[in-house]
């Protein structure tokens, strides 16, 4: 991937909406990510390294870096894809009706870049009862410890932050 062009779009903090043509996305994304994010593809079930991951941290959109899900809302649904019961915020994801493949489903897209992430179903656990079934290919994961170290190196470190 062209790092320079990725950096102008990819951010974990900038929430400005991004609208690029598929031609531009194609230049930035790997073929696997492009297929799922922009062509609404689906990765093979059980293929994601995040499927059984119990690491503590945050899942971001692999296309634009938007924060999507916290690991404490992840659960093992047995459906073959990483599953969550709640996005980080209401604006983390957006929804659309999906009637493709003869099914009535609700598509889940990134709230920042509009990339296809997966679908949401009504058979999830409490407290939301929702199951966000997300393609691992379009997720980036950052362990809490790494985020903490990055934070500690930053300038905004509080004086009494000692662990």
* CA 12 to each of CA 4, 77, 92, 112, 134: distance values in angstroms, whole numbers, following the listed order: 16, 27, 12, 11, 19
| b/e burial code for range 121-157 (CB count within 10 A of at least 16 → b) | beebeeeeebbbbbbbbbbbbbeeeeeeeeeeeeeee
Of 64 and 130, nearer to Zn ion (C-beta) is: 64
| Choice between 94 and 147, CB closer to Zn ion | 94
Annotated catalytic residue, options 64, 110, 113, 133: 133
Residue 64: active-site member: no
Q: Shortest distance, CB of residue 115 to Zn ion, whole angstroms?
A: 5
Instruction: Report the candidate in 143, 94, 102 with the shortest Cα–Cα distance to residue 118.
Output: 94
Site residues (vs Zn ion, CB under 5 A)? 61, 63-64, 66, 110, 112-113, 115
Query: What are the structure tokens assigned to 100, written together?
Result: 């493709």
59/78 with CB nearer Zn ion: 59
Q: Which is nearer to Zn ion, 13 or 156 (CB)?
A: 13
Residues 98/119, Cβ–Cβ less than 8 Å: yes
d(CA 2, CA 14): 20
Residue in this structure with the two tokens 């099914």, named with its chain if needed? 103
Smallest gap from Cβ 111 to Zn ion, in A, equals 8
* Closest CB 22 distance from Zn ion, rounded Å: 14
Active-site residue list: 133
């Amino acid at each position: 991937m062209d790092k320079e062009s990725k950096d102008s779009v990819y951010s974990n903090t900038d929430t400005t909406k991004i609208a690029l043509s598929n031609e531009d996305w194609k230049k930035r994304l790997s073929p696997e990510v492009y297929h799922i994010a922009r062509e609404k593809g689906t990765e093979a079930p059980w293929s994601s390294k995040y499927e059984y991951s119990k690491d503590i941290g945050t899942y971001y959109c692999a296309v634009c870096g938007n924060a999507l899900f916290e690991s404490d809302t992840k659960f093992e649904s047995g459906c073959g894809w990483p599953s969550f019961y709640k996005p980080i915020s209401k604006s983390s994801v957006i929804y659309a009706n999906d009637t493709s493949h003869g099914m009535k489903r609700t598509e889940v897209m990134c709230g920042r870049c509009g990339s296809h992430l997966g679908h949401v179903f009504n058979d999830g656990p409490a407290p939301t009862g929702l199951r966000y079934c997300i393609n691992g290919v379009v997720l980036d994961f950052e362990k809490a410890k790494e985020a903490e170290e990055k934070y500690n190196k930053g300038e905004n470190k509080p004086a009494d932050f000692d662990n």
